[in-house]
Structure 1
Amino acid sequence: MGGGEDYLPYRGGRHGEHRGAGTDGSMRKGRPEARHRCAQEQHEPRQNHDQGRNNPLRQADFVEAARAGLDEWRVPGISIAVIDGSASIYAGSDCTGGGGYEIWAEGFGYAALPKRCVAPSSRPAASQNGERTEHGARHVKQTRGEDVGSPATAETLYYTGSTTKAFTAAVLGQIIHPDAAGEKSGTEAAAAASASASAPATYSAKFPKGFRTPVSEVIRDDFVLSDEWATAHVTFEDALSHRTGLARHDKALAEWYPPATSATTDNNSSNRNRDDSNDDVHCNGEKGQERKHRGNVRDYTRLLRYLPLVQEPRVTFRYCNLMFLAVSRALEVVTGRWLGDVMRDWIWEPLGMQSTYFSLQDAQRARPGSLAEGYYWDYMAAAGGDHVHEVESKGAGELRKEKSLYHYIPFMDLSGGSGAGGIVSSVADYALWVRCLLQESGPLSEACHRAITTPRIIMQANVDGSTDKQNGYDGPLSYALGWFAGTYRGHRVYAHSGGMEAYGTEVYFFPDLKFGVVTMANTAVTANCLGAVLAWKLIDDKLEVPQKQRFDWAGRRKAGIAKSLKARDTAMNDYFPRRAQPPLRTPLPLDAYTGTYHHPAYQNLVIIKNGSRAERGLMPTSDAAARRELYAAHHDRVWKMDFEFEHVSGEHWLVFIEFAHSPNRLNQQFAKAEFKIGAAGDVVSVCVEYLEDGAEGVIEYKKLT
């Protein structure tokens, strides 16, 4: 990772300053007692019983690694928790934490950067009542002052992304494997009894074959796949282990749906988490336009019938968020309740996870100002591009201008997350979840613990395309139910990442070592990179692996970043290595390709000339606009994106896809497009093959206008 030393320095606190919240090992109401530490605070933190002597997060080498990592990976802040149940963790340790487990949690850097450190054009707007407003969500400003920022702590809230999947699998596991009487004793039995009481045995009857119950037997009207056999035979086990043969298709998730797909007759409410008056009806402000409701898990599940399978079920691992949304739909139908309420009653409350939420609105209401702000780093500006933003700062009694390369990203509504990625939480809360998994304790039954951690499919390659020789593990990874499973230096390990547009979470736990690590940070991609590097340092320290024998986790991640930054420049050769030179001209003028195209799952794709974006109030053209003649704004989706079409030859085009709020190349994707011309000589459709995590199948948009 480059970038040099020209990024904005941080006055009043070195970037990556150790400002955290730790735990003293005691448990209060089932959760670690957190202490917040910040240079701006007037009070001193409560004292730890070991004065930090045994805290792995306060060891000098780790503190320096965390500080340096924030700079190196361009991450404003990170929160980390370590869970350890071994008898002797570090020299002189005297662990007496809850259940024999010690939990440490700290924060480094900023949860919200000082105003001067963020590009002016990307800062959240401040209303007159002192609240920031973005996308209809309110975020209370920090009381420490506009230009001070706020520290990352153990209690800082983050979007946790796909680590939500493990909770979804656990909810279904509790229904299929309710706790047997006498299986546990003491406090574990009480917690398990509470869970069993809220998950009566009548729910189990809905899943007569357990996890191997076909999904269509539970939600037949909603769950229909493009293949009849797959519709009848794809099971909950298949859906929760990414082996259904369906690719991602995340770009199909829209924000709004017409009333024809409304779930108003259901006995549950997928939209129960929102209180905004316009969330259930929406008309875009145009007279006579169809009123819509915000998308929910029923809407998303009903998209499946229009999406192509890229493999037969149970053949190959293909990561698919949509299948977890379908499972979420089934759980809401069976329980008659919103999945967030089920998770709270069955898992979070029994574990003492009091700061875990299933919607942005719930998190903001319960803990205003506690959600970390998300950012992206402008690599183009760092490399000397045209996107440098100047800000004024005072230093040594003088006013000077400096580069600001961090850009604020608005909070994302979690309607499209649900059981695939809808949680907001903290490392302090997640530490309690990991401790439960390590202990195999309540509220989950022992059978449920075994079920969700049993591998179901071996991965021929990892999600990022690497093989087992490249990822540091002993052999190929497998996928269980919401967990990646493998071995590291002879020890079983379960792990999962969570990546959102501006956040990254990493969770690892080793059952036989009684050891786990959780990290949460506030950038896309690089948050996961830094989290993984620091987590594996803690793991290797725990195993006392000699420095020379440690796998180069940082090097592997840096190679991935470098590849992403160059992908746009090599994409044409990568995806069309054999193409006409010089390219064949398009048979029709450019205007003939503009218009509105429609697909029943992906909805409308409105293509315009790239040069006319400014006239429509859209983002400025990219650095390659001259040769990317066509453009489509994918902004009415859960994942807001910009599409740019570059002509390849004839009717073939390469589509460059960038996240609208974080256009720094790290999240960019690509697609192949081919326009079809009818017998009348006009364009009738465009076929798009999306390529996230491999080919997703061809989506044909019919031209409407």
Structure 2
Amino acid sequence: MMPLSKLPVRRGVKCAALVVTLALLAQPCWPAALPGSDLSPPQTAGVPIPRGQVDKAVAKLDALARALLKRSGIPGMAVAVVKDGKTVYAKGFGIRKVGETRLVDADTVFQIASLSKSISATVVARQVGAGVVKWNTPVVGHLPWFALADDWVSKHVTIGDMFAHRSGLPDHSGDDLEDMGYDRRQVLERLRFAPLQPFRSTYAYTNFGLTAAAEAVAAASGTDWATLAETVLYKPLGMAATSSRFDDFIKQDNRAGGHVLVGGSYVPKYQRRPDAQSPAGGVSSTVRDLAKWMAMVLGQGRYEGREIIAEDALLQAMTAQIVSTPSFAVDARASFYGYGFGVGVSPAGRVTLSHSGAFALGAGTHYLMIPSAGVGIVILTNAWPIGVAETLGAEFADLVQFGAITRDWFPAYQRLLAPTTKPFGTLVGKAAPAGPAPAQTLSAYAGVYANDYYGDVVVEQSDRGLILKMGPSGVSYALDHWDGNEFVFKPSSENAPDGSISAATFAIDGATPARTLTIELLNENGIGVFARR
């Protein structure tokens, strides 16, 4: 899931003489200090933070967390706050898993979903600082087998491009392949068949693009990604409960289960296994461990007096590299993305670093840091994303910067995150045709259908009708007749929440076997057409 940060870019220019002045004010190369000022203009916040205001904000977290838990109905959450390099708050609320009584605490291990991207960015930054790679190192320099649809882009796309989501790969490319059972290497090899948007001028959030870059860094380091992360980041920071391996998470006794909403109640129905995209979404951790990581980030690479990451290498990750969401109105702040970090400016005029994480199968996570205040908060929840984590982060940020909560953030974040758990398909909520056109004999549809990106799918005829089988794991769905040569099936996965309905439409001439099969679930980028072998 993408970060939730915004940055104002509105500039009022009344005459040509002001253009140069305003441009200079926006540049980081302004002199380090002006007469009578401790900060350069770009570092000046619009609202000061009075002494003691951060402490007052922390003191209100217990009540805020409990209120959100009650209001939302989610089973549990954990929260930690860092101030000036120290963990000043770390607590758990609610239960780890519905049906059990064990409580969440600061040492409960959660799947942190896309917060993994920021963690992984710091792993890469460490290797950049150590001279192993550079942010502008081409991915193929260490993964010679990797390719995209355009040969020039394949040769030039860098580690930084992938971590900034500006490679040109379509939004969430490869996630559907993961759902079908492809492993990491198989997914990355098939990205060459995905259509490309303009290189370095298009932002599109891609878990597996970032994963490809991480794999290149691991290869350059002579090890696998999970071991690299453990060696250069988790162990040096003392993050003993943190791992980039699912097997380590599932072995933890004090771990949170994922929950989805079923019939108005949260149920531990699924278990997300994100190893294929581990650098982008497969980290598991505790708020106590993540507080150490935030302290290091806010310390510009230093933790407890030790350099963990070279400051210059980390700074590149934490500064804006591309516009992620352009302003929708002249008075709206845009969103920016660094290398694995969301970068923005708050209404108080302070730079923020943030990211959210979401598993439709049962995780909602968020962190927000305000470097100028030396403060950061991380919130981990064990339910699918409905905005609880983001709401608590926004409430805390309000209290830190303004001394009061400025609005009811929960409804706003609920609306923003609703698409994450919305059932997929144009036929969702529609009644089947009352008088559908008849189908052909089922044998006309049975067969093997090929696609470069997705591989083969198989349509089998059985006593119960048609069965669709997809991917190396043979994920199977019953095909129910809808109208004419159109059938439907009901997928359920990370990218197709419960209640989804996908059309499966055959192209057929007369009594001959079907020529092609178009699967709606796989056709968002126009590549979901399969040809009969």
TM range (shorter): 0.7 to 0.9
**CA distance, structure 2, for counterparts of residue 331 and residue 226 of structure 1:** 22
Per the alignment, residue 409 of structure 2 pairs with 553
Amino acid at match of 1:511: P
The one of 487, 493, 505 aligned to 1:659: 493
- State the 1:643 CA deviation: 8.3
Is contact 1:364–1:370 with CA below 8 Å preserved after alignment? no
Per the alignment, residue 136 of structure 2 pairs with 212
Structure 2 residue 361 is matched with structure 1 residue 475: no
Per the alignment, residue 176 of structure 1 pairs with 128
| Structure 2 SS opposite 1:340 | helix
Is contact 2:80–2:89 with CA below 8 Å preserved after alignment? yes
- State the 1:607 CA deviation: 4.5
> What aligned pairs does 1:48-87 form with structure 2 within 5 A after superposition?
54=55, 56=57, 58-59=59-60, 62-85=61-84
Amino acid at match of 1:571: T
| Structure 2 SS opposite 1:245 | coil
Structure 2 residue 324 is matched with structure 1 residue 459: yes
Structure 2 residue 229 is matched with structure 1 residue 371: no
| Structure 1 SS opposite 2:530 | strand
**CA distance, structure 2, for counterparts of residue 661 and residue 67 of structure 1:** 30
| Structure 2 SS opposite 1:176 | helix
Structure 2 residue 186 is matched with structure 1 residue 299: yes
Per the alignment, residue 230 of structure 1 pairs with 153
Greater relative contact order (CA < 8 Å, ≥ 6 in sequence): 2
**CA distance, structure 1, for counterparts of residue 435 and residue 94 of structure 2:** 50
Q: In 2 relative to 1, CA 643–369 (structure 1 residues): closer, same or farther, beyond 3 Å?
A: farther
Per the alignment, residue 243 of structure 2 pairs with 357
Q: In 2 relative to 1, CA 539–306 (structure 1 residues): closer, same or farther, beyond 3 Å?
A: same
Q: In 2 relative to 1, CA 479–111 (structure 1 residues): closer, same or farther, beyond 3 Å?
A: same
**CA distance, structure 2, for counterparts of residue 308 and residue 679 of structure 1:** 33
Per the alignment, residue 11 of structure 1 pairs with none
**CA distance, structure 2, for counterparts of residue 632 and residue 493 of structure 1:** 47
| Structure 1 SS opposite 2:492 | strand
Is contact 2:456–2:471 with CA below 8 Å preserved after alignment? no
TM-score under structure 1 length normalisation: 0.59
Larger mean Cα displacement after TM superposition, 343-352 or 652-661: 652-661
**CA distance, structure 2, for counterparts of residue 478 and residue 329 of structure 1:** 24
Is contact 1:673–1:687 with CA below 8 Å preserved after alignment? yes
| Structure 1 SS opposite 2:272 | coil
CA deviations over 1:405-449 (Å, ceiling 9, x no partner): 332234333321321112110011001111111110231111112
The one of 301, 308, 313 aligned to 2:195: 308
Per the alignment, residue 130 of structure 1 pairs with none
Per the alignment, residue 444 of structure 1 pairs with 309
Amino acid at match of 2:163: L
> What aligned pairs does 1:93-242 form with structure 2 within 5 A after superposition?
99=85, 101-115=86-100, 149-178=101-130, 201=131, 203-204=132-133, 210-221=134-145, 223-242=146-165
**CA distance, structure 2, for counterparts of residue 169 and residue 690 of structure 1:** 31
**CA distance, structure 1, for counterparts of residue 520 and residue 258 of structure 2:** 30
- State the 1:492 CA deviation: 0.8
- State the 1:63 CA deviation: 3.1
**CA distance, structure 2, for counterparts of residue 80 and residue 323 of structure 1:** 30
Per the alignment, residue 134 of structure 1 pairs with none
Percent sequence identity over matched residues?
A: 23
- State the 1:677 CA deviation: 3.0
> What aligned pairs does 1:31-50 form with structure 2 within 5 A after superposition?
none
- State the 1:523 CA deviation: 1.2
Q: In 2 relative to 1, CA 444–697 (structure 1 residues): closer, same or farther, beyond 3 Å?
A: farther
Q: In 2 relative to 1, CA 227–676 (structure 1 residues): closer, same or farther, beyond 3 Å?
A: farther
Per the alignment, residue 365 of structure 2 pairs with 505
**CA distance, structure 2, for counterparts of residue 661 and residue 313 of structure 1:** 25
Unaligned segments of structure 2, at least 5 residues: 1-53
Q: In 2 relative to 1, CA 103–231 (structure 1 residues): closer, same or farther, beyond 3 Å?
A: same
CA RMSD of aligned residues (A): 3.7
Unaligned segments of structure 1, at least 5 residues: 1-52, 86-98, 116-148, 179-200, 205-209, 258-294, 383-404, 462-466, 576-580, 614-629
Larger mean Cα displacement after TM superposition, 323-332 or 437-446: 323-332
Is contact 1:372–1:522 with CA below 8 Å preserved after alignment? yes
Q: In 2 relative to 1, CA 476–558 (structure 1 residues): closer, same or farther, beyond 3 Å?
A: same
Amino acid at match of 1:491: R
**CA distance, structure 2, for counterparts of residue 671 and residue 177 of structure 1:** 47
Is contact 1:79–1:427 with CA below 8 Å preserved after alignment? yes
Per the alignment, residue 268 of structure 2 pairs with 408
Is contact 2:350–2:370 with CA below 8 Å preserved after alignment? yes
- State the 1:453 CA deviation: 1.2
- State the 1:538 CA deviation: 0.9
The one of 491, 516, 525 aligned to 1:696: 525
- State the 1:232 CA deviation: 2.2
**CA distance, structure 2, for counterparts of residue 646 and residue 658 of structure 1:** 19
| Structure 1 SS opposite 2:260 | strand
| Structure 2 SS opposite 1:683 | coil
Q: In 2 relative to 1, CA 536–601 (structure 1 residues): closer, same or farther, beyond 3 Å?
A: same
- State the 1:356 CA deviation: 0.5
Structure 2 residue 176 is matched with structure 1 residue 251: yes
Per the alignment, residue 399 of structure 2 pairs with 541
Per the alignment, residue 5 of structure 2 pairs with none
Q: In 2 relative to 1, CA 584–342 (structure 1 residues): closer, same or farther, beyond 3 Å?
A: same
Per the alignment, residue 333 of structure 1 pairs with 219
CA deviations over 1:44-88 (Å, ceiling 9, x no partner): xxxxxxxxx9575553xx434322322332310000111122xxx
- State the 1:660 CA deviation: 8.0
**CA distance, structure 1, for counterparts of residue 354 and residue 284 of structure 2:** 18
Q: In 2 relative to 1, CA 234–58 (structure 1 residues): closer, same or farther, beyond 3 Å?
A: same
Per the alignment, residue 389 of structure 2 pairs with 531
Larger mean Cα displacement after TM superposition, 149-158 or 66-75: 66-75
**CA distance, structure 2, for counterparts of residue 499 and residue 562 of structure 1:** 11
| Structure 2 SS opposite 1:538 | helix
**CA distance, structure 2, for counterparts of residue 590 and residue 652 of structure 1:** 12
Amino acid at match of 1:481: Y
- State the 1:253 CA deviation: 2.0
The one of 518, 523, 528 aligned to 1:687: 518
- State the 1:161 CA deviation: 1.2
**CA distance, structure 2, for counterparts of residue 455 and residue 643 of structure 1:** 46
Count residues in correspondence: 469
Amino acid at match of 1:554: F
Per the alignment, residue 319 of structure 1 pairs with 205
CA deviations over 1:173-222 (Å, ceiling 9, x no partner): 233333xxxxxxxxxxxxxxxxxxxxxx4x34xxxxx322322232122x
Per the alignment, residue 676 of structure 1 pairs with 507
- State the 1:158 CA deviation: 0.5
Per the alignment, residue 440 of structure 2 pairs with 588
The one of 325, 346, 354 aligned to 2:232: 346
**CA distance, structure 1, for counterparts of residue 417 and residue 488 of structure 2:** 22
Is contact 1:359–1:413 with CA below 8 Å preserved after alignment? no
**CA distance, structure 2, for counterparts of residue 698 and residue 538 of structure 1:** 44
**CA distance, structure 1, for counterparts of residue 311 and residue 480 of structure 2:** 52
Q: In 2 relative to 1, CA 308–660 (structure 1 residues): closer, same or farther, beyond 3 Å?
A: closer
| Structure 2 SS opposite 1:659 | coil
**CA distance, structure 2, for counterparts of residue 255 and residue 102 of structure 1:** 41
CA deviations over 1:426-476 (Å, ceiling 9, x no partner): 011001111111110231111112110121211246xxxxx6669xx9611
Q: In 2 relative to 1, CA 150–644 (structure 1 residues): closer, same or farther, beyond 3 Å?
A: farther
- State the 1:254 CA deviation: 6.2
| Structure 2 SS opposite 1:478 | strand
> What aligned pairs does 1:600-619 form with structure 2 within 5 A after superposition?
600-607=452-459, 612=464
CA deviations over 1:343-380 (Å, ceiling 9, x no partner): 11211112121110121222344xx31111222221xx
